[in-house]
Amino acid sequence: MSYEFFLAKRIIGSKAYKSSISAPIIKIGIAAIAIGIVVMMIAIATGIGLQQKIRDKVVAFNGHVTISNYDSNNSHESVYPISKKQDFYPEFKSVTGVKHIQAIAAKFGVIRTETDFEGAYLKGVGGDYNWEYYQEFLVEGRLPDYTKKRNEEVLISEYLAKRLYFKVGDKFQMVFSKDDPEKLPNIITYNIVGVYNSGFQDFDAQYLIGDIRHIQRINKWKSDEIGSFEVFIDDYDELEQKGAEIHAEMPTLIDSNTITTKYPTIFDWIKIFDKNIYGIIAIMILVAGINMITALLVLILERTQMIGILKALGSNNWSIRKLFLYNASYLILLGLFWGNILGLGILLAQKYFKLFPLDPTVYYVSEAPVFISLGYIVALNVGTLILCLLMLLVPSYIITKISPVKAIRFQ
């Protein structure tokens, strides 16, 4: 054990140290570190949590990559069909990392009741549809089953159900117009078997899920014709790369787009969260560092006589600086310890008890989601410790300017 570390331990453990003039300033420094780490943990956890939650909801309605006809218009409705007889369906073997591919079609219609009506898109799906996301969104009833013969079961959003006063088990009529305005529209009576709430009101207000075979019949498509394919990949971080690989595999008349291309506004918005997180981290570390600089200067001033004695006994400047840096490291670690306890407590409470709600019309989620990972917690603690110590190297330089003779006489 080095004598600098030994002396630092003795100073920290002494009763005089805890009741000295510098004690309140030291406590403020520890509190600044603790508050800083709490704020940084919350900023990272909620920032990444929001990004992932919003991203997953957009993926739930569209897949990571959408494959459709080049002639499709900009609306959500499937106008020109493409054949299911493709080399990449039902399994996309030519591109690694593709988890699932499913066929869908969309048709705009009007939901009609005795007292009201509402326009919405029927998203037609089949037996290949992956219900993983909707299983999480389901709030009442059950998911439809389209693996057998054509049926009238639908999954409706809680938003539409409340607007139209629907509940599970209710039946309603949906009117679909034909291309020829002189012909009578198609009217289908649907049965609500489940209600979902994704929290993404922009999508919830537009979509209900039904059997794709109804849309094929209305559009007079063949049984192997669909509106588009939705492709899901294993790793979102590889989206651009996999999107390019999928696009390269497309036949001449078929196009593909990633969700970031399809919804650029949403993904540009959630990218801003990264800048906010970096800004908060920089400010908190700066505030914590300034408080620790103040505490260190007070410690040096309070121990001026000790510094003079150590110099008189032959200690060099760097040894004495190390002594005070060891002391400061203890204070930083103490602040990090309490900050982690408090920060993790708040994050776990939010994760399991949903203490802080959010406006879903603004943030697309009803409560602040949190992402807890050992990786960023360790990186945050180590980074804070190193940066604060680096900031303390400058004020510790004042020790080199202290004269042993004057220091010993210092009162």
Average model confidence (pLDDT) across the chain: 90
pLDDT at 398: 85
Summarised one tens digit per residue, pLDDT across range 80-135 is: 899 999 999 999 999 999 999 999 999 999 999 888 899 999 999 999 999 999 99
Can you give the pTM of this predicted structure?
0.85
Q: Given pLDDT bands bounded at 50, 70 and 90, which one contains residue 74?
A: low
| CA–CA dist 328, 375 (Å, integer) | 25
Mean pLDDT within 317-328: 89
More confident residue, 178 or 66: 66
Is the confidence at residue 68, as pLDDT, over 80?
yes
| Beta pairing class for 186-196 and 171-176 | antiparallel
Rounded Cα distance between 223 and 161, Å, is: 31
Q: Report domain extents, the chain.
A: 3-56+267-409, 71-252
Phi-psi region of 358 (alpha: psi -120 to 50; beta: other; left: phi over 0): beta
Q: For 341-355, what is each residue's pLDDT tens digit?
A: 999 999 999 999 988
Q: What is the model's pLDDT at position 344?
A: 97
pLDDT digits (tens, 9 = 90+) for 366-398: 888 999 999 999 999 999 999 999 999 988 888
pLDDT at 75 over 80: no
Which residue did the predictor score with more confidence, 29 or 231? 231
According to DSSP, the residues that pair with 241 across neighbouring strands are none
pLDDT tier, 407 (very low <50, low <70, confident <90, very high otherwise): low
End-to-end CA distance of the chain: 31
Collapsed DSSP state (helix, strand, coil) of residue 220: coil
pLDDT attached to residue 15: 59
Q: Is the pLDDT assigned to residue 404 strictly greater than 80?
A: no
Q: Give yes or no for residue 411 having a pLDDT over 60.
A: no
pLDDT (average), residues 280-308: 88
